[in-house]
Amino acid sequence: MKRTRSSFSRWLALAAMLATSLASGIASGEDLLQIYREAQKSDPTIAGARSQWEATQERVPQARAGLLPNVAVQGQANINQFDQTINTTPKTDFSRDFWVGSATFSASQPLYRPQNVILLGQAKEQVTQSDFTLAIAQQDLIIRTAVAYFDVLLAEYNIELAEQQKLAVAEQLAQAKRNFEVGTATITDTNEAQAKYDSIIATEIQARNDLDRRRTALAAIIGRFPRGLSRVGRGFEPALPNPNNIEYWVDRALKENLSVRFAQSNYDIATLEVDRAKAGHYPTLDLVASYQALTSNGSTSLNFVNESRLAQLGLLLNVPLYQGGFVNSRVRETISLQDRSRADLESARRSAVTNAQDGFSGVNSAAASVKAFEQAVASAEVALQSNILGQEVGIRTNLDVLNVQQNVFSTRRDLANAYFTYLLAVLRLKSAIGSLNEQDLEDLNRRLNG
């Protein structure tokens, strides 16, 4: 009877240790928000997106330059040597050295250039579009970081589960050997426990390899290997979408999804490009002015200092009449590109609807899974305790306990995975409506460590 109580106590201690390992809030290590802020500094993808955003900001001053004055100064200085021989009798040689210098100041101010005006409008739209592009990259970074973070945590859970399984099966193997030695069990129980133990060793090796891969994937984002990650805290309660109405989320996705807004901006730019192509038929009008100063100390025929000044002010009108059909071809091209942008916009809208629906159902489904797996874990633990007692009194075999124990381990792993699936579904739903930002990650981080 003493051995029975001792064995039962060890099983209870094992179950308690496993529960503490998976359910307790481990505050040590870097949390999700710390990892994300590290990713903001080190991730090459977001760094490239920021550089592209900064480059796009220059589109407006470049386009505006086409509507502002163009001023230039040109100077020239030449030293000339003139030699001439006249075949007369006697022969006549003529030689003269002289220099010539000139300076020209010119300026032009566009008065009517519709193509340049439209180009400025396109540049402003491109700057707005770059904001959407950067925001999409930032949302993508949040999700990539969260996925990598949770993948590492889940891989760590798998290792811990394998270790706890190994401890439990080692206890069962030792007990089976003791029972065989005293004649209360057959060699079959020992062989079954040994086979299970060997299988868990292989599983543990695979789990450790998987953890190395997951840590490497996270290191590719933050530029280093994490020192250790915080776990999900106690009292985690998955909340449903608020409001829990799919039409609300679909409507917001159609209006606010960043990919939709990017595609809309792209369509607007394409429409302006059609107008700019048509403007190739329009005349242009510029105000032009120039001032030229010329001085020299002679020429080939003169031998005195010469100075002249010339100032001009006028209008330059250019009326295109025929350009080989280029403008008409360009118009047809831009109209086709506008149609493609319209199709891309419709595709973005449909994708936004799909993402919103998937995100909404994903949050609800994942929340339900968390509740279900929590109940499954509780039931599995009760079943394990019942089978342990059954084995002690002889109505359950060693294999029965091993099978139920395996169910406890796998159910706890599934619960951890359900937690992470829920958290990622929340992030993806917010991304679908274009509202995902660092504040959402801060809120999520507090829930993880609560």
| 152-166, 228-242, 303-317, 341-355: least confident range | 228-242
Listed in sequence order, the residues at least 6 apart from 84 whose beta carbon sits closer than 8 Å to its beta carbon are 93, 94, 95
Q: How far apart are CA 210 and CA 163, in angstroms?
A: 15
Residues 6+ apart with CB under 8 A from 308: 293, 294, 295
Mean pLDDT of 353-364: 96
Q: Which CATH superfamily is domain 2-68+113-281+325-448 in?
A: Outer membrane efflux proteins (OEP) (1.20.1600.10)
Cβ of 224: how many Cβ atoms within 10 Å? 10
DSSP H stretches of helix in 183-294: 187-222, 246-256, 258-278
Q: What is the pLDDT at residue 95?
A: 77
> Distance of alpha carbon 144 from its chain centroid, rounded?
7
Q: In 10 A of CB 150, how many CB atoms?
A: 22
HSE-CB for 447 with a 13 A CA cutoff: 15
The pLDDT-based confidence of 142 (bands split at 50, 70, 90) is very high
Query: pLDDT at position 22, please?
Result: 45
Q: What's the N-to-C CA distance of the chain in angstroms?
A: 43
**CB–CB of 124/118 below 8 Å?**
no
Between strands 70-86 and 284-296, the pairing is: unpaired
Tally of helices (H runs) and strands (E runs) in the chain = 11, 4
- The packing angle between helices 2-23 and 114-182, to 10°, is 170
Q: How far apart are CA 9 and CA 439, in angstroms?
A: 46
Alpha carbon of 103 to those of 20, 75, 109, 290: distances in Å? Answer: 87, 4, 21, 11
pLDDT greater than 80 at residue 5: no
- Domain parsing of the chain, residue ranges: 2-68+113-281+325-448, 70-112+283-319
pLDDT of residue 212: 95
Contact (CB, 8 A) for 214 and 151: yes
Mean pLDDT score, 220-238: 81
- State pLDDT tens for residues 287-346: 999 999 999 887 766 677 788 999 999 999 999 999 999 999 999 999 999 999 999 999
Rounded to whole angstroms, how far apart are CA atoms 83 and 229?
A: 89
The share of the chain scoring above pLDDT 90, in percent, equals: 59
Contact 364, 418 (CB under 8 A): no
- Give pLDDT, residue 24: 44
**Cα separation, 130 vs 207, whole angstroms:** 42
Q: Comparing 44-48, 150-154, 180-184, 230-234, which segment has the lowest mean pLDDT? A: 230-234
Q: Is the pLDDT of residue 252 over 90?
A: yes
Q: Are 66 and 113 in contact (CB under 8 A)?
A: yes
Contact 192, 181 (CB under 8 A): no
What phi, psi does 197 have (nearest 5°)?
-65, -45
Question: What mean pLDDT, rounded, does the chain reach?
Answer: 87
pLDDT value, residue 406: 75
